[in-house]
Structure 1
Amino acid sequence: MITDFYDPPSLEGFRHGDLIRARPVFVPQLTAAAGAFQILYVSTNSRSELIPVSGIVVIPEEYAAPGTNALLLFSPGFRGLGGAEVPSRLLVTGNEPADSVAGIEAALRRGWVVAVPDGEGLGVWGTGPHTFLAARAAARVTLDLACAVYRSADLDTPVAPCVAWGYADGGRAVAAAGEMHPWYAPELDLRGVAAGAVVSDLGALAPLINRGGPAAGLGLAAVVGLARAYEQLPLRHVLTEEGALAAAEAARLPSSELLREFPQPLSHWCRRLDPWNDVWWRRVLALETLAHVGLAMPLHLYHGTRDDLVPVRAGQRALIAYRQRGTTVTWREYDAGHRATAVAAIGDVLARLGEDLTDPVAAAQRRPSHSEDEREGERPEHAPS
């Protein structure tokens, strides 16, 4: 018997991408929404085991015309390792962050259906902690959300191509979804991917995270999240006894509380100053490196030049790596910090994804060149190639 919508159900008889249950909800922050559904659906974890996950599907006031209509998979950034601060709940209570609301609202005004995953280990009670930074686990949850929307007659959404958009950790999720799409969810017509503030190589970024300050807690969150995703590997051995206690506490917290409670650098909680160089952690960080393969659809990368959380050079490395794999990639830089870039890019991102919908043949045939690299609308003097 269901006692709460978010209680984990039995998954016997289900396959990944199936809808478990849905209920209509009101989303007060979204003026362009005709309605929305909280949903529970089935995905898989990094060990290919079935798991229940949650999300929300938002319906526009008026659907776009055929040929321009889309299902937008909108993958948000880090929300914490635990707690109830997830999009499917916050959009109903009216507390979703403003930058996320702005992006969803803009897509709804285009007439697109917007589907937002909560993420593995978040939303559904008792399934945490969240697998933070495990891009391929997040990609499965993202792709299965689209499958759940299309397989369910209860949601009454039109069949249309998919596009995917994410920022920061959400950007890693949609980029990985583009890589995995051909073999994990080939039934989906995924036309384009937009990803901002993307880190392709976590190992290269690890030393930068190992510092005090407002974002220092992300280091501890990374250990907890990746250890959850790769439970079959001995990863927690890098933590001291104090670190293990801190990790257990962090695993229960939303992002705001986690970052406030744990301002120490990652090395403070570990037995060695460079835990990312442990042999098991090197293996995991290698597995979580993006651009192992190219994308079959266009990829749009963007970054803020004044981003003090994810350095722009990390995004440029992702650009180079994907181009080397033969992906059709565009690049744009914004003269802004991390949060400001998320908002500044909204119009450009939706325009790019709209092009992928209306002219998929031209988009697929387009080859990356310096003329496609943009910095605030102009060709940069020293764009990466």
Structure 2
Amino acid sequence: MLRAAVRFLILVLSVVSVGWLVAPATANPLYPTPDPDPFYHEPADLAGMQPGQVVRVRRTDTALFMGSDGWQVAFRSTNSAGNPIMGVTTVLMPPGVRNPPLVSYQALINSLGTQCSPSRSLFNGELQDSLGAMLPLGRGWAISMPDYLGPNVAYGAAKLGGMVTLDSVKAVRQVAELGLAEVPVVLAGYSGGGMATAWAGALQPSYAPDLKLAAVVAGGIPADLREMALALGFDPHPGFGLAFAAAMGLEREYPNRLPVSDQLNESGLWFRDFTKDACRRFLLFHGITRNAAQLAASKDMMNSPEAHAVLRENSLRYDDRVPTVPTFFWQGRFDTMTFFGPVEEVAQRYCRAGVPLMFRPYDIAEHLTTAVAGFPEAWDYVEARFRGDPAPTNC
């Protein structure tokens, strides 16, 4: 679905580039309705805080999740422009376990509304991989699930996801009631969650050098958004609702570089307003009968250098940074949603840089089947890191 999203972004921004040749476009993104709960409201002194600094903490009822104890932590983080934002993560503690190891699990968030992020979707039925996320609890581990798309739910913004993920772990370790200050920490996720996880691993040495990680585990990684876009063309797609959502999400994160809304026609602006708070199922249902040609103000086609630049900036393939901790990647060799080649190239670069990497290709084409195939070995890999076993590598 993500590659369909990138396709729509390129289509609309191709139109945007035509507008730039005529007159500068002005940013006019539509942000989600803010959560009315004061817990989500940023404090006036947020800019004076450090990334990962705790803003507030509260208990939350997570008894349905294997009898776990639940907490939510608000913290200061950073967006793609380097500006302060407030993040939130939800922590589930295994019952009866003191000082358990911690998994930061980046769940799938294919959405635009604040109620679609894990701090809400864990409890309203919208979280797509809630069952898989509970597996760490069954092993006696704590799990933290950050709202890694930030307060604006910037779907598609990969680098943002990495920074919010790292800051969420820093914040959780500061909450004395949780007892997680000294425990080993692993980052894990698949697909969009794998993208945020892999970016967090690459950013950690420079963005959060004081944060110690035991490992990074990611699968189904969209490692080259630009290649995905160029390979697709613009035929109709059943995932168009998510495609449109990604274009809106990236405009939220890059309003002055990707003024997508300015190039929508009347129908496109209506659909933008209609879906600004929508979650995955709503987006898919209402997008299935629509396409880009119906919503863009013009059918002119032209490459947008700025759009390609933003896509490269959010593509792991083009980022020179590498993790310094044990890393486990798995990818479907014939995956038609997230291409194998870019991930293989990233893996090879990591090996050349001396990263202790395990890279597992699977001869599978279907995206979610690869997730099911890879997670058992991935969780065993995590358990071995928590035991302190030497990290294997197949470089």
What's the TM-score bracket when you normalise by the shorter of the two chains? 0.7 to 0.9
Report the equivalent of 1:85: 116
Q: What stretches of structure 1 of length at least 5 have no aligned partner?
A: 122-126, 370-385
Report the equivalent of 1:309: 337
130-139 vs 223-232, which deviates more? 223-232
Q: What stretches of structure 2 of length at least 5 have no aligned partner?
A: 1-34
Report the equivalent of 1:101: 131
Q: What is the alpha-carbon distance in structure 1 between the residues aligned to residue 178 and residue 38 of structure 2?
A: 17
Secondary structure of 1:183's counterpart equals helix
1:162 CA displacement: 1.4
Q: What is the alpha-carbon distance in structure 1 between the residues aligned to residue 79 and residue 355 of structure 2?
A: 26
Check 1:294–1:98 CA distance in 2 against 1; reply closer, same or farther (3 A cut).
Answer: closer
Secondary structure of 1:144's counterpart equals helix
1:218 CA displacement: 2.8
Check 1:98–1:9 CA distance in 2 against 1; reply closer, same or farther (3 A cut).
Answer: closer
Check 1:73–1:267 CA distance in 2 against 1; reply closer, same or farther (3 A cut).
Answer: farther
Check 1:6–1:336 CA distance in 2 against 1; reply closer, same or farther (3 A cut).
Answer: farther
Question: Which residue identity lines up with residue 221 of structure 1 in the other structure?
Answer: A
Check 1:262–1:346 CA distance in 2 against 1; reply closer, same or farther (3 A cut).
Answer: same
Residue from 214, 221, 233 that aligns with 1:191? 214
Report the equivalent of 2:281: 256
Q: What is the alpha-carbon distance in structure 2 between the residues aligned to residue 331 and residue 60 of structure 1?
A: 30
Question: Which residue identity lines up with residue 201 of structure 1 in the other structure?
Answer: D
1:158 CA displacement: 5.1
Counterpart check, 1:118 vs 2:143: no
Secondary structure of 1:51's counterpart equals strand
Counterpart check, 1:160 vs 2:190: no
Residue from 282, 288, 311 that aligns with 1:285? 311
Check 1:328–1:212 CA distance in 2 against 1; reply closer, same or farther (3 A cut).
Answer: farther
Question: Which residue identity lines up with residue 186 of structure 1 in the other structure?
Answer: P
1:347 CA displacement: 1.9
**Contact (CA 8 Å) 1:35, 1:58: kept in 2 or not?**
yes
Secondary structure of 1:285's counterpart equals helix
1:11 CA displacement: 4.2
Check 1:348–1:88 CA distance in 2 against 1; reply closer, same or farther (3 A cut).
Answer: same
Question: Which residue identity lines up with residue 207 of structure 2 in the other structure?
Answer: Y
317-326 vs 167-176, which deviates more? 317-326
Report the equivalent of 1:135: 158
Question: Which residue identity lines up with residue 352 of structure 1 in the other structure?
Answer: Y
1:60 CA displacement: 0.9
Check 1:202–1:321 CA distance in 2 against 1; reply closer, same or farther (3 A cut).
Answer: farther
Question: Which residue identity lines up with residue 257 of structure 1 in the other structure?
Answer: F
Q: Deviations over 1:9-63 (max 9, x none)?
A: 31404322122222222224421x4301122222111122111222200101243
Question: Which residue identity lines up with residue 331 of structure 2 in the other structure?
Answer: H
**Contact (CA 8 Å) 2:148, 2:196: kept in 1 or not?**
no
**Contact (CA 8 Å) 1:22, 1:39: kept in 2 or not?**
yes
Question: Which residue identity lines up with residue 385 of structure 2 in the other structure?
Answer: D
Question: Which residue identity lines up with residue 348 of structure 1 in the other structure?
Answer: E
Counterpart check, 1:9 vs 2:42: yes
TM-score (norm 1): 0.81
Q: Say which structure, 1 or 2, has more relative contact order (CA 8 Å, 6+ apart).
A: 2
Check 1:11–1:368 CA distance in 2 against 1; reply closer, same or farther (3 A cut).
Answer: farther
Report the equivalent of 2:16: none
**Contact (CA 8 Å) 1:174, 1:193: kept in 2 or not?**
yes
Check 1:91–1:296 CA distance in 2 against 1; reply closer, same or farther (3 A cut).
Answer: same
Q: 1:182-261 alignment to 2 at 5 Å?
A: 182-206=205-229, 207-208=231-232, 210-236=234-260, 239-241=263-265, 242-261=267-286
Q: What is the alpha-carbon distance in structure 2 between the residues aligned to residue 245 and residue 311 of structure 1?
A: 33
**Contact (CA 8 Å) 1:214, 1:259: kept in 2 or not?**
yes
Check 1:319–1:3 CA distance in 2 against 1; reply closer, same or farther (3 A cut).
Answer: closer
**Contact (CA 8 Å) 1:30, 1:101: kept in 2 or not?**
no
1:299 CA displacement: 2.0
Residue from 72, 90, 94 that aligns with 2:103? 72
Residue from 68, 73, 79 that aligns with 1:45? 79
Question: Which residue identity lines up with residue 59 of structure 2 in the other structure?
Answer: P
TM-score (norm 2): 0.79
1:339 CA displacement: 2.7
Check 1:100–1:322 CA distance in 2 against 1; reply closer, same or farther (3 A cut).
Answer: farther
Report the equivalent of 2:57: 22
Check 1:289–1:336 CA distance in 2 against 1; reply closer, same or farther (3 A cut).
Answer: closer
Counterpart check, 1:178 vs 2:208: no
Secondary structure of 2:324's counterpart equals coil
Q: What is the alpha-carbon distance in structure 2 between the residues aligned to residue 319 and residue 260 of structure 1?
A: 36
Secondary structure of 1:84's counterpart equals helix
Q: Deviations over 1:301-347 (max 9, x none)?
A: 11345644334455444434544554333222264732333334332
Q: What is the alpha-carbon distance in structure 2 between the residues aligned to residue 210 and residue 112 of structure 1?
A: 44
